[in-house]
A = this chain, B = another copy of it.
Amino acid sequence: MRDAYIIGAGQTLFGAMPDESYRSLFTQAFETAKNNVPAGIDNKDVDEAVVGSLGVGGRQLGLSGPAATEHAGLHGIPSSRIENACAASGYAVRQAVQAVKSGMADIAIGGGVELMTDLSADVTKYWLGVSGETEWERLTGTTFSGVYAQMASAYLNAYDATTEHLSMVAVKNHANGAQNPKAHLGFECSVADAANAPTVADPLTLYHCCPTSDGAAVAIVAGEDVVAEYTDDPIRVAGVGAASERVGLFERDSYTAISSSETAAQQAYRQAGVGPKELDFAEVHDCFAIAELLAYEDLGFCGRGKASHLLDNGVTDPDGDLPVNTSGGLKSKGHPIGATGAGQITEAFKQLSGEAGDRQVTEPRYGLTHNVGGSGGSAVVHVLEREVAR
């Protein structure tokens, strides 16, 4: 199987940018990604594009893939939109990897974009709701906060974790995001701030929920036989896994684990020939604080019910054994639905390239990204490897 490499990745600022368009954001992210390719790259080198987006707002719901890449100066190439709710661009990067591995492209880009803040809050809520299970969740009035609140309640009931652990996720990720100039909510917060914030869906407070963000991110993927033209510090896609789970939470075997994340991680580890112990950092899908605890367990960072111990012991802090969400995560960096997965790849690329600035992890070799759609209806995991030792 032909190896695939990330040769560049970049993102826009994540935040409220209602005067931008999905096209202007995508183009900015693509230009930033190109600038991050060590030896540079021309548009004409790109053979294929995959654009992840939920299409919030429905402005250009059809053909928004070709419309975005046309604006970015990629006229003529195969371009499509992939949708997997919040995992859209994790899947887009995976699809770019597939395009390269298949031999049908030497260079493919996988990215994503979402523009959400130019709508009224009610309209945005509708567009987010349509990623939940329709008949028995959305139409009965259950929002995503409600679904994750059910998972949080079940988890806190099953194990010895407390709401303080949910707040510790927020505190850690806000502290990380405060070091990230691209973060939407780049400020620190305390456990007390999180605990005392208004309840969104019990037990989740405002600080246990990610914001509604605009943004775009793009990763540029190259085949092993062309990678040397673009960089002498290649970041290999060592493993990639993806899976689905029942879309409705109420139909699943467990409320305290997301089987799609587990399956995707196992695939990615197997392909990469490494396990969680070899990871130097991870970007995980923390749309709600409980999701980060579930991720620790689904991705094998610890056993079932032990996620709170990692937080108690600072294991996932920036100076811990396995820093998680150095970017600030969805919680602080922001969560522009279609851009999130490629944004995680961007952070991993920067970390592995030694370009993560104030939040740089020491000489990482392996990094993992974990992107979830909806409440776990889909998940995709990448393990990236820096091949050149420092």
Identify the A interface with B (CB < 8 A).
Answer: 1-2, 54-55, 58-67, 69-70, 74-85, 91, 94-95, 97-104, 127, 130-134, 240, 242-247, 259-260, 263, 373-374, 377-378, 380
Contact = CB atoms under 8 A, between A and B. Distances in A.
Contacts of A74: 244
Contact of A244 (B61, B66, B127): B66
A263 B48 CA distance: 13
A66 B85 CA distance: 10
Residue among A69, A102, A133 having the largest count of chain B Cβ atoms under 10 Å: A102
B62 A374 contact: yes
A356 to B, nearest CB: 29
A84 B81 contact: yes
Given A63-B131, A63-B377, 10 more contacts: A60-B130, A60-B133, A60-B247, A61-B83, A65-B83, A66-B84, A66-B377, A76-B244, A98-B102, A102-B102
A130 B58 contact: yes
A210 B95 CA distance: 32
A62 B66 contact: no
A377 B244 contact: no
Contacts of A77: 243-244
A94 to B, nearest CB: 8
30 contacts: A1-B103, A2-B102, A55-B83, A60-B134, A61-B83, A62-B85, A62-B131, A62-B373, A65-B378, A66-B377, A67-B247, A69-B244, A76-B245, A76-B260, A76-B263, A77-B243, A77-B244, A78-B243, A78-B244, A79-B378, A80-B84, A80-B91, A80-B95, A82-B83, A95-B95, A97-B102, A99-B102, A100-B102, A101-B104, A102-B102
Given A62-B373, A102-B1, A131-B63, A82 B82 contact: yes
A44 to B, nearest CB: 14
A101 B99 CA distance: 9
Number of copies: 2
Contacts of A82: 80-83
Nearest to A68: B247
A378 B101 CA distance: 23
A83 B84 contact: no
Nearest to A64: B83
A130 B2 CA distance: 38
A101 B177 CA distance: 40
A80 B95 CA distance: 10
A104 to B, nearest CB: 6
A63 B374 contact: yes
B66 A247 contact: yes
A266 to B, nearest CB: 12
A75 B246 contact: yes
Nearest to A49: B244
A221 to B, nearest CB: 12
A63 B378 contact: yes
B70 A247 contact: yes
A380 B102 CA distance: 17
Contacts of A55: 61, 83
A101 B63 CA distance: 25
B244 A378 contact: no
A270 B259 CA distance: 43
Contact of A98 (B70, B83, B104, B378): B104
A62 B60 CA distance: 16
A85 to B, nearest CB: 4
A47 to B, nearest CB: 10
A80 B378 contact: yes
A378 B247 contact: no
A84 B65 contact: yes
